[in-house]
Amino acid sequence: MQVSDPLGVPGAPQETWGAVQAHLADSARAGGRLILVTDRQGDRQNAAYAALIVQAGQAVIAAPAFGPRYGRPGAEALAELVKWAHERDWPVRETVLNSSDFVRVLAEPDAGEVGRLIAASNPSDPGIYTTLPKLKPLDEEDWEDA
């Protein structure tokens, strides 16, 4: 499997989603799979996600920039990414990567690690990613502590 350089900027949801869209717009391949990679299990309200996009023997990872950990923009970018894949009948899968490997593997993926991520992924319901979480608004006291 050929693994491309990672797309996007860690922690920058809209920039990363834009890089994914640009990458996929250049692709003539119709089918693919979306595998969401997270370092959290059972804590979706605080989760960060990276995206592993697999098409015709090629894989590309989008930086960890999706999900509620990155605030409303991260949750919205995750919802848009999953809706995009679902509209194209791409299967949506998820895999959990232990937190000690999360940053390392996603920054410099090799074919063996990507293969293990694919093998460890499980089918997932797209609806759990497209329902935006209720994010607590900051009050004045939070601003003073920030």
Spatial separation of the C-alpha atoms in residues 69 and 135, rounded to whole Å: 10
Q: How far apart are CA 90 and CA 31, in angstroms?
A: 7
pLDDT at 76 over 90: yes
pLDDT at 141: 58
Tell me the per-residue pLDDT of 9-22, one tens digit each, with 9 for 90 and over. 999 999 999 999 99
Between 1 and 111, whose confidence is greater? 111
Lowest-pLDDT range of 1-5, 22-26, 133-137: 133-137
pLDDT band for 131, please (50, 70, 90 cuts): confident
Using alpha carbons, list the distances in angstroms from residue 91 to 41, 87, 122, 126, 129: 20, 10, 10, 9, 13
Half-sphere exposure of 42 (CA within 13 A, CB side): 0
Q: Between 133 and 87, whose confidence is greater? A: 87
Specify the pLDDT at position 139: 54
**pLDDT tens-digit series, residues 58-70:** 899 999 999 999 9
- Of residues 136 and 16, more confidently modeled: 16
Helices within 48-110 (DSSP H only) = 71-87, 99-107
Q: What is the pLDDT of residues 31-40, one digit of tens each?
A: 899 999 998 8
Domains of the chain: 2-134 (3.40.1530.10)
